[in-house]
Amino acid sequence: MNLTLIIPEIFLFLWALLILFVDFFTAEEKKHRLGPLSLVGIVITVVLVVFSGQGQAFGEMFSADYYSLSFAIIFLGSAFLAICTSIDFARERIKHQGEYYALILLSTVGMMFLAASRELLSMYVSLELTTISLFVLSAYLKTDLKSSEAGLKYMILGAASSAILLYGISLLYGITGTTVLKGIQAELVGSAFPGPLLVISLVFIIAGFSFKLAAVPFHMWAPDVYEGAPTPITAYLSVASKGAGLAAMVRVFFGSLLPVTSEWIPLFMALATMTMVLGNIVAIRQSNIKRMLAYSSIAQVGYILVALSAASELATTSMILYLLVYMFANIGAFAVVIAFYNHSGTDEICEYAGLSRRSPFLAISLVIFFLSLVGIPPLAGFVGKYLLFLAAIQKGYYWLVGVAVLTSVISLFYYMNVVRQMYFRKPTKNDPVKVSWSLRLALVLSLIGVIAVGVYPDPFVSLISKAASVFVY
C-alpha cells in the first residue's frame, strides 16, 4: 500500500480539523482570520498535489495520475477563490465561521478523492462526502428562509439522486461482477450483446450524475438552491460541485464504458441539446442575477456534454480545459455579484444600473467574465468552446454544434442585458461600491486566468492533454 500518494488529501483533511480547533480558541470578532488561514492550507495542498508522486493505492481504488492532478488543481483553485469571496460575506452575515471554512475544505477533500478514484463505490463515498458538506453550506444562513429551503431541497433531491446512482451502480455490478472500472471494461469487451440490463443501469447512472451536474431534465433543484444559498457557496457549487460530477462521469464513462458507446452517446446528445436550449432560454427571463447565473451555469454544462458525447481524447482535454476556464469566469462573475451584494444587499439586475460609474473596476470585470462565458476571443471562453466544438465536429455531430453555437448567441442577449444596465442606464444611487482586499484578490486572479488561458492556451492544453491520455479510446 502506498500511503504517500494520499498525503495531499490527508493534509487538507487535517487542516480542516485545525480550522475547527483554532476556532475553539478564537474570539468572535477575530474569527474572520480563519478565512486566510484556510487559504494558506489550500496553497500548501496545491504544492503537495503537484509534487506528490503518481501511482496507485488501495488496490485499484485510488489512482494519482494526471487526470486526478488536473481536477484536484481545479477543485483547490475554486475553493481558494470561493473562500476569497467569502471572507467579508462571512464576517458580516454568517455565524459559526470556523465550521463554514472547515466544511468547504472537507468538501474539497471529497472532490479530490472523487477525481482519483477508479472504483465505483469509493467514488460514491467521496461523492457523498462532497455533497453532504455542500448541503450544510447551502443552508448556512440559518435565519434566512430561502437558504433553509435551498439546503432542504438540495438535500432531499441530492439524496434521491444518490439513490438512483447507487441503483445504477448495483445493476452494473450485477452485470459485470466487479466495481473496479478496469474490470468492468474488460467484462464489457468480452460480452457480445450488452442487453437490456446494461441500458437500464446506464440510464440510472446517467440520471444520478446529471443531477450533480444540473443537466436538463435533472436541473430543477439548481436555480432555487443557487438563489437561496450564501452567494460564495453558490459560486463554489456552480463550479466545484459540477466539476466533481464531471470528473466522476468522465472517469466512469471513458474509463469503463467505452466498449458500449453506441448505448450512451445518443443519451448524452439528447441531454446536451435540452440543457443548452432550456438553460439559455430560461435565463433570459430572470430578474435576479443569481438565478440568471444559475441558468447560465446549466447552459454551460450543456456545452460540456456536447464534448462528452464525442468520447475522444480531444473531448476529454476540451472538457477539463473548459472547466478550468469556466471556473475563472464564473467565480469571477460571482465575486462581482458578492461585492455588489455586500455593499447594497440586493441581487436584482435592475439595481446594477449605472454600476460603471459607481465602480468602474467591478463593471469592466463583469463584462470580461460575461464575454468569456459567451466565448468571445481573445478570452479564455473562446478557446474552451472552440476545443469542445472541435471534438464534436471531428465525430461529425454538425447539428449538435449548430445548436451549441445558436444557443451561445442567445446567451449573449441575457449577459449583455446586465452590461446594458451597468453602462447605459443612469445610477439610482451615486455612492461608490467599495471592494475589499480579498474580493479584489479573487477578481484579479480570475481576470488573469480568463485572459492568460485565452491569449496563450498552449501550456494549459498540453498539460491537460496528458490528463486525457489516461484513458484508452
Partner 1 sequence: MPSDYAYVGLFLIFGVAFVLITFFFARLLRPSRPNPIKNRSYECGETAVGSAWVQYNVSYYIYALIFVIFDVELVFLFPWAAAYRSLGLFAFVEMFIFIMILVFGLAYAWRKGALKWV
- The contact set with partner 1 (CB under 8 A) reads 17, 20-21, 24, 196, 199-200, 203, 262-263, 266
DSSP 404-460: HHHHHHHHHHHHHHHHHHHHHS--S--PPPP--HHHHHHHHHHHHHHHHHHH--HHH
Residue placing its CB nearer to partner 1 in the complex, 24 or 51? 24
Contact 416, 305 (CB under 8 A): no
Residue 318 beta carbon to partner 1: minimum distance, rounded to whole angstroms: 28
Contact 392, 310 (CB under 8 A): yes
Q: 64 pairs with which residues across the strands?
A: 55
Residue 30 beta carbon to partner 1: minimum distance, rounded to whole angstroms: 17
Residue placing its CB nearer to partner 1 in the complex, 104 or 198? 198
Residue placing its CB nearer to partner 1 in the complex, 53 or 196? 196
Residue 62 beta carbon to partner 1: minimum distance, rounded to whole angstroms: 16
Residue 98 beta carbon to partner 1: minimum distance, rounded to whole angstroms: 10
Residue 198 beta carbon to partner 1: minimum distance, rounded to whole angstroms: 9
| Residues across the chain | 473
Residue 200 beta carbon to partner 1: minimum distance, rounded to whole angstroms: 5
Residue placing its CB nearer to partner 1 in the complex, 66 or 167? 167
Contact 225, 157 (CB under 8 A): no
Contact 269, 402 (CB under 8 A): no
Distance from C-alpha of 455 to C-alpha of 450, rounded to nearest angstrom:
9
Residue 344: exposure state from Cβ atoms within 10 A (0-12, 13-18, ≥19): middle
Residue 276 beta carbon to partner 1: minimum distance, rounded to whole angstroms: 22
Distance from C-alpha of 74 to C-alpha of 76, rounded to nearest angstrom:
6
Contact 202, 263 (CB under 8 A): yes
Residue placing its CB nearer to partner 1 in the complex, 48 or 270? 270
Residue placing its CB nearer to partner 1 in the complex, 198 or 320? 198
Residue placing its CB nearer to partner 1 in the complex, 20 or 364? 20
- Tally of CB atoms within 10 A around 294: 26
Residue 444: exposure state from Cβ atoms within 10 A (0-12, 13-18, ≥19): middle
